[in-house]
A and B are shown apart, each in its own frame.
Chain A
């Protein structure tokens, strides 16, 4: 009888121990496998950040945006964690894993130093369909600088590229593969910028879900270099280094207006959860 009691006690203790092993991981049942892989690769231990990633992936999948993304950069933690692409969280260039250069620091994302800090996405828009593309980022600081916040530009005539320049002398500049790009007044650089096109003849930029500028200049095939974050690849050389705080970035296929607005809502929820 005593032996039975001891065995029972042992079993209860083992079962409790196993249950406890996953305490705090109850979300494993509901968190998408892709999010769990990212959390593991990036070594994220903070529960709020884990929850934010799970929700982000779920919402991207629910809104059919997941399959449209080439790269999603939540930019959590230090360089070793922030480098991972949520879509393919492996340390290799072909997964568009970020490579960080120069004097970047990491707090609520990636912070430039205005001198030489930037991230290489290893994504070259020469490989993309120039009629079907989107990219964007979230900037957390209000800065008026002669810098580019994200992108690449080629010298091959006609000069064109893919870039976001949030605020230079209170003007926003963008280019989505068309010669010349577009610009409009922007007196606050903070916000979530989403540049997208689904045809060669029309591109739009939303800021926090509202139309900032539209461009009707026809996009043309691009032969150039990788898209950088925190500066711009200028004819093959990183230049115009910014000092803003980039809290999120993405690269993807073209979005409809509805999808672009949905992406903004998903990002805003992510931002609120993290308090960025």
Chain B
């Protein structure tokens, strides 16, 4: 059990890639390609559980009041999806 906990901790540590908020697919589609600030576009991505996420850095730089609702959503740790197609 202890070994499993250590492995899980290790896996979550190496997979850690910052904080995000989870949004719906509809919102993700609407945000895609819109500006967070001048010349920087939203890029919602899927996490390991197939949820759409927006990064903390995008939210921190928000200038458009239309997207301020994102600041009210809870931040969670992002775990990237496993890639099964590539050789990286």
Contacts and interface: CB of A to CB of B under 8 A. Distances in A.
A153 B86 contact: yes
A117 B39 contact: no
B57 A104 contact: yes
Interface size class of A (residues with CB under 8 A): 20 to 34
A100 interface: yes
B57 A105 contact: yes
A3 B43 CA distance: 68
Residue from A78, A118, A168 with most neighbouring chain B CB atoms (10 Å): A78
A103 interface: yes
Given A159-B87, A165-B88, A234-B85, A101 B41 contact: yes
Nearest to A180: B87
Contacts of A148: 88
Contacts of B43: 101-103, 116-118, 238
A83 interface: yes
Nearest to B45: A116
Interface size class of B (residues with CB under 8 A): 20 to 34
Contacts, number: 88
Contact of B41 (A99, A105, A153): A99
A113 interface: yes
Contacts of A173: 88
Nearest to A163: B88
B20 A115 contact: yes
B65 to A, nearest CB: 19
Task: Give me the 6 closest cross-chain CB pairs, A-B, nearest first.
Answer: A103-B57, A103-B55, A102-B43, A101-B43, A79-B39, A114-B17
Interface of B: 14, 17-18, 20, 37-45, 53, 55-58, 61, 78, 80, 83, 85-88
Given A103-B58, A105-B57, A239-B88, 14 more contacts: A79-B39, A100-B39, A102-B57, A103-B55, A104-B40, A114-B17, A115-B20, A116-B45, A234-B86, A235-B86, A238-B43, A239-B83, A240-B88, A241-B17
30 contacts: A79-B38, A80-B38, A80-B39, A100-B39, A100-B40, A100-B41, A101-B42, A102-B41, A102-B43, A103-B56, A104-B40, A104-B57, A113-B57, A114-B18, A115-B17, A115-B55, A116-B45, A116-B53, A116-B58, A146-B14, A146-B88, A168-B88, A234-B83, A235-B85, A235-B86, A238-B43, A239-B83, A240-B88, A241-B17, A243-B17
